Structure 1
Amino acid sequence: MEETYGYAIVAVSAFVKKENSVLLVKRGKEPGKNLWAFPGGRVRKGERLVEAVKRELYEETGVEAEPTGIIAVTEVITKTNNHASYHYVILTFAFKEETIHGDPKPGGDVAEAQWVPIQKAIEMPDVVYSVKRILESQKPPLLNVITLE
């Protein structure tokens, strides 16, 4: 049975670059089952965005790193029978290359996790469209994260 929500879900994703490769995961569940994407997922109630992206990165890949800032905001709406079944607002964080620790191994709802050369990732047919767009643009962080208590 497909999950549906009456509101948009805030999610995070991790753009982790090492030399000329990027860390990608193959989704094991919907949405995006069998597609390659950045590690990421939903933000839990009461969880800071930076905490969420670090948690998702570790849960899905076993890799730890420190984020530098947000490089993209993506809105994803998927429809089933002309009705929205998923509506995500995804904040993609870049990470400091010198802080990357660990070798990728799949965890959580991920089927595979690996370093992929950036050009190869752009050319792969089963990479999420928004991921390709981010890889093609290769921008420094757009936004700093400000947390208010």
Structure 2
Amino acid sequence: MTAPIARPIPATIAAVVRDGHVLLVRRANPPDENCWAFPGGKIDAGESIEAATVRELREETGVVAEPLYVFDAVDVFDRDEAGALRRHFILIAVLCRWQSGEPVAGDDARDARWIPLADLEGHELATSFGVARLARKAAALMAAA
């Protein structure tokens, strides 16, 4: 068992919406292993939110996108089987405009693909907490852009 992290861990997630689809990865590792989530990861020391977003997106999917702006933030609490807090992530959601590439799973992603926004409304697709809400918000922002 690992000791709890004393402070929240800043991380970024890339919200890329294109043609009624959102780019998601199936997570290969905890938290939320095997769930569909936005590509993203920890922000390295000295790295900007935008640079971390571009890096993580490319590492996990091979897709290149332009980060536009931060549009939300989400708390993720990783707990052990007994409910004790292991890690607390603060996920900074960045709206991104697709530039090139088609998703190919890489790094810690088990799968990567464009998921129809409509598929997020049902419960057939196991997603990380908040994915459907953030995807709807990102789609609305891209439509207005």
TM-score (norm 1): 0.85
CA distance in 2, matches of 1:105, 1:87: 28
Relative to structure 1, is the Cα distance of residues 121 and 3 closer, same or farther in structure 2, using a 3 angstrom cutoff?
farther
User: Which amino acid letter does the alignment assign opposite residue 113 of structure 1?
Assistant: A
Calculate the aligned-residue CA RMSD, in Å.
Answer: 1.8
- 2:119 touches 2:125 (CA, 8 Å); kept in 1? no
Post-superposition offset of 1:129: 2.1
Higher mean Cα deviation, 48-57 or 128-137?
128-137
- 2:78 touches 2:87 (CA, 8 Å); kept in 1? yes
How many pairs align?
Answer: 139
Structure whose residues are more often strand by fraction: 2
- Look up the match of 1:122: 121
CA distance in 2, matches of 1:2, 1:43: 21
User: Which amino acid letter does the alignment assign opposite residue 15 of structure 1?
Assistant: A
- Look up the match of 1:26: 26
Higher mean Cα deviation, 66-75 or 3-12?
3-12
- Look up the match of 2:38: 38
Q: Deviations over 1:88-138 (max 9, x none)?
A: 0010111124xx201110000100000010011232440112111212334
- Look up the match of 1:92: 93
Relative to structure 1, is the Cα distance of residues 44 and 27 closer, same or farther in structure 2, using a 3 angstrom cutoff?
same
- Look up the match of 1:113: 112
CA distance in 2, matches of 1:18, 1:67: 14
Structure 1 unaligned runs (5+)?
142-149
- 1:122 touches 1:135 (CA, 8 Å); kept in 2? no
CA distance in 1, matches of 2:119, 2:3: 32
CA distance in 2, matches of 1:44, 1:88: 14
Relative to structure 1, is the Cα distance of residues 66 and 78 closer, same or farther in structure 2, using a 3 angstrom cutoff?
same
- Look up the match of 2:77: 77
SS at match of 1:66: strand
- Look up the match of 1:66: 66
TM-score (norm 2): 0.88
Q: Deviations over 1:21-66 (max 9, x none)?
A: 0000000111111000000000011111100000000000000010
Relative to structure 1, is the Cα distance of residues 43 and 3 closer, same or farther in structure 2, using a 3 angstrom cutoff?
farther
